[in-house]
Amino acid sequence: MKHVAYALSLLALSLPVMAGLGLKRSGWRVGQTINIEVRDADAGQLACLRFVADEVATFANIQLNFVAAGEWTAGLRRDVWLDVESQNGDVATGGHSSMGNTSFLREGMMLRMYPTSVEPTNARDCLEVRTIRHEVGHLLGLAHEHQHPLIPAPLTRQLVDDQPRIDRQFLEPFAERRLRSFHVTAYDQKSVMHYSMSITVGTARELQNAGRELAGIGPERTDEELYGYIYNIEYSPGDRALLRQMYPASH
Ligand SMILES: [Zn+2]
């Protein structure tokens, strides 16, 4: 039995479950430190950014150095500006980021976050940790997972219906020409780079009829209209494997 378990673990090691779309040339050097000047973040928000930086460094050979604008030291090269917009009302949190280092020293990010009322002690205390992970994913060169060419068509139709105010170029799968600059691996419904969405019964049936896996779709709702949802907070195993390939360990 012991031998069988060993053989299985070797097999698992040799088949990393890479998933997603990652730039072939992110513009960042493997192992480099990306210095990010953070404007207008409170201490808790800054702590949340650093939790994500520490997490990324456990699976990708890249360092994210978040420094508050007031603590910037002369001579430190600034790679990215990050503006934090604090929200008090009910405006949704969100953000945006450059994808990779494409415009040399002029990269920008924005995160809309609630002010922190409790000092966070780990990433789970951070309300916007999904948003931080998603935007950091873009900065490191990951594209939107729902724009993967292998996303089932009913999901794209639903996403376009659900998000009438978002330009279709951010919702629909990438065209062949655009895909050439990316590592294209499996479509991953658990990727943090996937937009959150609900999935109707009709859509789920269509997927079942097409023999698609429903893995990653949340628990069935009692509501007749909705079957489930995609809402990914963590870097999925696929996200981690792809970032590990893009930023491999040096040994
Ligand atoms: Zn995004």
| CATH number (domain holding residue 40) | 3.40.390.10
Provide the domain count of the chain: 1
Position 41 scores a pLDDT of: 94
Burial of 110: CB neighbours in 10 Å, binned 0-12, 13-18, 19+ = middle
Instruction: Let me know if residue 211 belongs to a domain.
Output: no
202 three-state secondary structure: helix
Instruction: Let me know if residue 190 belongs to a domain.
Output: yes
Q: How many residues does the chain have?
A: 251
pLDDT tier at 8 (50, 70, 90 boundaries)?
very low
Q: How far is the CA of 210 from the centre of ligand 1 (A)?
A: 28
Q: How far is the CA of 37 from the centre of ligand 1 (A)?
A: 20
Nearest alpha-carbon partner for 51 in 132, 109, 113, 116: 132
Instruction: Identify the residue whose tokens are 């090269």.
Output: 77
Q: How far is the CA of 49 from the centre of ligand 1 (A)?
A: 17
Residue 176 has pLDDT above 70, yes or no: yes
Domain extent for 78: 18-196+231-251
Instruction: Let me know if residue 116 belongs to a domain.
Output: yes
pLDDT digits (tens, 9 = 90+) for 109-135: 999 988 887 889 999 889 889 999 999
Q: How far is the CA of 135 from the centre of ligand 1 (A)?
A: 6
Q: What is the pTM of this model?
A: 0.83
Instruction: Let me know if residue 202 belongs to a domain.
Output: no
Instruction: Let me know if residue 223 belongs to a domain.
Output: no
Whether the Cβ atoms of residue 229 and residue 198 lie closer than 8 Å to each other: yes
